[in-house]
Amino acid sequence: MKILFVGDASNLHNCLAQQLRRMGHEAVVASNGSTWMDTRRDINLLRKPGKLGAVRYVIDILRALPSMRGFDVVQIAGQIFLDLKPGKVRLVLDYLKRNNKRVVMSALGTDRVYYDACFDGHTYRYSDYRLGDAPSPYIKSREYYAQEQDNWGMPFMKKHSDHVVNTIDGATACLWEYYAAYKPLLGDRVVHTGIPIDVESLTPRALDEVPEKVRFFIGIQRDRTIIKGTDRMLEALKRVCAARPDECEMVVAESVPYAQYVEMMRSSHVLLDQLYSYTPATNALLAMAQGLVAVSGAEPEFYQLIGETENKPVINVNPLEDGDIEAQLNMIIDNKHRLPEWSKQSRAFVEKHNAAAIVAQRHIDFWKSL
């Protein structure tokens, strides 16, 4: 097959493309490299700041369009898959639809469909926007009003979302959250694929002995810390490390390139990731593939969707319970003798559910079903 990926997020499309090539398919990635992550792409569509950068970006897209024709599948990264206003994104989407066999969307981030699900009162118990019946810290923050994501609630974004949903042939959801949001709209035209992880390139660290100190690792994205809850996790981690300095330590990575991020992660034992998630996402899975224990989201809905009943290695944290983050971190320190066991379980989980070859095959099966 010939597959074109337009846009990327957290290396998902690039990882898929590399695996598809290994399986004998032709795959092309046109993206901005997930901005600061600087992931690999075949067509560079990185928008530089300023008016000159905007003009140059449009020129780059126009030059790339002729090479975006004749594919069996075009997979776009969400409803805003280019750094353009919705109206211009729709023009590119319609072009891709006319000149290729199928257009599929990766549901991999906040969009109008997910946004509406966050506020409908029944899809989620908590989300980036709501904690039960109360607004989340993000909603109450200055960042919320500064972020473009606030536009998802506006009528013009509803118009854009409806156009995308009516144009695409189907959608793949990398997390349970996005699958739950799109299932009522698309029915059988949405499938949960999970996030691909290149496990072959990630050698698990040998954790055969109980460490003297538990080393916690947390990654911070400057513009997304409140919406992902890493601000609350970092503060809880600081309190635990301050109270037990002889038993634990922490490593903080702030908006570093992808390769450097993975290398920093390897020296740790436990990773703290998204607080408001029902599903372990890219950072957690990358850590688990290397034998780290993930403190993140892993709710019953997620395990039920993937059919996992035995190996549940993610340390789930409940954002609705005050003090639960610290309680789980203290539990890990108190049970550090189990780290070698948890390490092996983490790696085995990713190999079973998120190995790039497995996730790529799920995509292929879905594309063929369309």
Residue spans of the domains in the chain: they are 2-196+356-369, 199-353
Residue 198 · residue 366 · CB < 8 Å = no
With CA atoms as reference, report the closest residue to 248 among 218, 292, 217, 213: 213
229, with CB counted inside 10 A (0-12, 13-18, 19+), is buried
With CA atoms as reference, report the closest residue to 171 among 99, 226, 116, 111: 111
Q: Which of the following CATH numbers is that of domain 199-353: 3.40.50.2000, 3.40.50.300, 3.30.70.2860, 3.50.30.40?
A: 3.40.50.2000
Residue with tokens 């109206």: 87
> For residue 23, what are the contacts with CB-CB under 8 A and spacing of at least 6?
357, 360, 364
CA 95 to chain centre: 27
Q: Helix or strand or coil: residue 83?
A: coil
Residue 318 burial (CB count, 10 A): 16
8-state DSSP, 290 = T
How many whole angstroms separate alpha carbon 302 and alpha carbon 298? 6
Q: Could you check whether 2-196+356-369 and 199-353 share the same CATH topology? A: yes
How many whole angstroms separate alpha carbon 16 and alpha carbon 356? 7
Q: Which of the following CATH numbers is that of domain 2-196+356-369: 3.40.50.720, 3.40.640.10, 3.40.50.2000, 3.50.50.60?
A: 3.40.50.2000
Cα dist. 146→46, 143, 161, 207, 249 in Å? 22, 5, 21, 43, 34
Strand ranges, E, within the chain: 2-6, 26-31, 43-44, 73-77, 102-107, 130-131, 134-135, 170-173, 190-192, 214-220, 248-254, 270-272, 293-296, 315-316
Q: What value does the CA radius of gyration of the chain take, rounded to a whole number of Å?
A: 20
Residue 217 · residue 271 · CB < 8 Å = yes
How many whole angstroms separate alpha carbon 350 and alpha carbon 346? 7
Amino acid 142: pLDDT: 66
pLDDT tens per residue across all 370 residues of the chain: 999 999 999 899 999 999 999 999 999 999 998 877 788 999 999 999 999 999 999 999 999 999 999 999 999 999 999 999 999 999 999 999 999 999 999 999 999 999 999 999 999 999 999 999 999 998 888 666 655 455 888 899 999 999 999 999 999 999 999 999 999 999 999 999 999 999 999 888 777 788 899 999 998 877 778 888 999 999 999 999 999 999 999 999 887 777 788 788 888 999 999 999 999 999 899 999 999 999 999 999 999 999 999 999 999 999 999 899 999 999 999 999 999 999 999 999 999 999 999 999 999 999 999 9
How many whole angstroms separate alpha carbon 83 and alpha carbon 88? 10
Amino acid 150: pLDDT: 59
Give the tokens for residue 345: 């379980």
Give the tokens for residue 164: 């995308």
Strand partners, 250: 216
How many whole angstroms separate alpha carbon 105 and alpha carbon 76? 5
Residue 26 burial (CB count, 10 A): 13
How many whole angstroms separate alpha carbon 234 and alpha carbon 219? 9
With CA atoms as reference, report the closest residue to 270 among 241, 306, 310, 302: 241
